């Protein structure tokens, strides 16, 4: 019971930190592109209007950027405090992209941010524009390496288990970097940031229209933001399709949970909501073949054969292989310095079953099923809100180009109140990605309950509520400062 409570509270604390961090990250990614685009227009057109517009959104970017760094640093420290077993087991691999992110992206962002924010009258126009774009690119590079690390947890590649050090060690760095899940996750996460920044700018600009203030600035900002947001959403849709195919291939339980699919098969239906299905659509989305086989939860637990005749083991069979791997590992550790022959025999059994190592910690097949209702509805919230927001951006861009937006107060209100919706969509996406792979910290390799630190439940509970207070304070301060800057408005 205590072990379960420790895992649950450790997960809750990490979810809290990651959730708060993701409030700030997508806005940073989105505003970076929008403000840089505006400054580019300033340099090309030599119109100070665009300079003042860029400076206003840059001010909000800077506020958000600073708070996001604080939450991100705490998030990385938690790998050592709450997940030390995980850090020991795979630190050789997981630590590499995080180290590169810290050395390359963080210093790159810090250097160019200083020039961008303080250098308007100290460097030339083109130099300043370069610094602005490089600040945004630095934020993107930071996202690249963090998402490479995260993608490795979803689909571990490029490593080998060393029973002498009891660690997974990197053997192919480029396999880590070119992990197909990393590529899809980067495109999906960054483009969702473009959508977030765009909806934020459109919403704030709509507030100016409602107040009949800074009308030219508001309309121009809506035009730039809508174009960036629509382009980002198209990338978001394409990368979402790739993510679905990869999840079906490497994380089929996540796919089954996201669809609430108990019994799969060929021509599997896509569930819009319970009781409303599109026949064959899930197979088409998950495999790009309407006859493709998509396993359901029961198939994955009981074992199955797909439409090609390939057989897949049951959960019980995987658990048995996992227990063989764990026992062989213990035997190898016992005999490695006493009897080379017995050690070699144990090593051979370990190597034959090492892919199922993590299943040795699983006590029952039911543990392998994540929270289906949470994942099912989170996926629909993400897709539903994303579709609505795309329609909104198209509508405001059309209205702005037709010079009808100033009179469409109803559309301005919708845009303003859509700001929280884009954040809800982003959080829902991460719920699908992270809760969907439970009970694994590393897919099929290390379950969550084996990754946690040996600390007291009370210590984790105390820091959890401490972080609630600190992060909420951070968010409140950011909102207060931003609202003050927004009410003051751009210096036009």
Structure tokens given for 264? 């799969």
pLDDT tens for the chain, 492 residues: list them. 457 899 999 999 999 999 998 999 999 999 999 999 999 999 999 999 999 999 999 999 999 988 888 788 888 888 888 898 898 888 888 888 888 887 777 778 778 988 998 989 889 999 999 999 999 998 888 889 989 999 999 999 999 999 988 888 999 999 999 999 999 999 999 999 999 999 999 999 999 999 999 999 999 999 999 999 999 999 999 999 999 999 999 999 999 999 999 999 999 999 999 989 999 999 999 999 999 999 999 999 999 988 888 899 999 999 999 999 999 999 999 988 888 889 899 999 999 999 999 999 999 999 999 999 999 999 999 999 999 999 999 999 999 999 999 999 999 999 999 999 999 999 999 999 999 999 999 999 999 999 998 888 999 999 999 999 999 998 999 999 999 999 998 976
Q: Are strands 276-278 and 311-312 parallel, antiparallel or unpaired?
A: unpaired
442 backbone dihedrals φ, ψ, rounded to 5°: -120, 120
Q: Where are the domains of the chain?
A: 2-251+370-488, 265-361
- Give me the residues paired with residue 446 across strands: 442
Helix crossing, 457-488 with 2-45: angle to 10°? 20
Q: What is the pTM of this model?
A: 0.92
What integer pLDDT is reported at residue 385 of this predicted model? Answer: 97
Distance of CA 232 to the CA centre of its chain: 16
Residues 193 and 25: beta-carbon distance below 8 Å: yes
What integer pLDDT is reported at residue 110 of this predicted model? Answer: 78
H helices present in 155-214, as ranges: 173-177, 180-210
Structure tokens given for 38? 């505006």
- Ranges of beta strands (E only) in 299-389 are 304-305, 311-312
Distance (Å) of CA 461 to CA 6, 306, 439, 453: 9, 45, 21, 14
Helix crossing, 107-118 with 48-81: angle to 10°? 150
- Residues 6 or more apart in contact with residue 469 via CB below 8 angstroms: none
């Amino acid at each position: 019971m205590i072990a379960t409570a420790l895992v649950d509270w450790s997960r809750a604390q990490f979810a809290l930190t990651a959730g708060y961090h993701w409030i700030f990250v997508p806005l940073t990614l989105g505003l970076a592109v929008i403000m840089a685009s505006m400054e580019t227009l300033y340099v090309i057109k030599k119109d100070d209007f665009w300079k003042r517009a860029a400076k206003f959104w840059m001010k909000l970017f800077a506020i958000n950027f600073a708070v996001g760094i604080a939450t991100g640093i705490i998030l990385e420290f938690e790998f050592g405090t709450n997940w030390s077993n995980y850090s020991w087991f795979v630190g050789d691999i997981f630590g590499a992209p995080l180290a590169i992110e810290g050395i390359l992206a963080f210093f790159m962002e810090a250097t160019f941010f200083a020039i961008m924010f303080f250098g308007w009258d100290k460097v030339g126009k083109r130099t300043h524009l370069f610094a602005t774009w490089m600040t945004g690119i630095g934020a993107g590079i930071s996202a690249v390496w963090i998402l490479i690390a995260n993608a490795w947890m979803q689909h571990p590649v490029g490593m080998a288990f060393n029973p002498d050090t009891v660690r997974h060690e990197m053997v192919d760095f480029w396999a880590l970097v070119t992990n197909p899940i990393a590529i899809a996750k980067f495109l999906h996460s960054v483009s969702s940031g473009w959508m977030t920044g765009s909806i934020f700018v459109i919403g704030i600009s709509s507030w100016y229209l409602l107040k009949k203030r800074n009308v030219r600035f508001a309309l121009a900002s809506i035009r730039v933001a809508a174009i960036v947001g629509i382009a980002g959403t198209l990338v978001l849709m394409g990368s979402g399709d790739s993510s679905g195919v990869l999840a079906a291939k490497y994380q089929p339980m996540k796919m089954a949970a996201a669809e609430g699919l108990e019994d799969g098969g060929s021509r599997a239906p896509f569930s819009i909501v319970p009781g409303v299905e599109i026949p064959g659509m899930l197979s088409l989305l998950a495999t790009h073949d309407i006859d493709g086989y998509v396993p359901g939860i029961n198939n994955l637990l009981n074992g199955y054969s797909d439409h090609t005749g390939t057989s897949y083991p049951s959960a019980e069979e995987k658990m048995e292989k996992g227990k063989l791997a764990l026992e062989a590992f213990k035997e190898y550790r016992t005999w490695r310095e006493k009897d080379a022959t017995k050690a070699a025999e144990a090593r051979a059994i370990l190597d034959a079953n090492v892919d199922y190592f993590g299943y040795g910690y699983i006590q029952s097949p039911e543990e392998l099923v994540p929270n289906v209702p949470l994942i099912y509805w989170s996926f629909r919230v993400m897709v539903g809100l994303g579709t609505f927001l795309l329609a909104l951006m198209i509508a405001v861009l059309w209205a702005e180009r037709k010079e009808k937006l100033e009179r469409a107060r109803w559309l301005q209100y919708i845009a303003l109140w859509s700001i929280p919706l884009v954040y809800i969509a982003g959080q829902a996406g991460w719920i699908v990605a992270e809760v969907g792979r439970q009970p694994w910290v590393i897919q099929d390799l290390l379950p969550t309950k084996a990754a946690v630190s040996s600390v007291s439940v009370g210590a984790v509970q105390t820091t959890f509520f401490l972080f609630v207070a600190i992060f909420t304070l951070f968010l409140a301060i950011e909102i207060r400062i931003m609202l003050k800057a927004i009410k003051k408005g751009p210096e036009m």
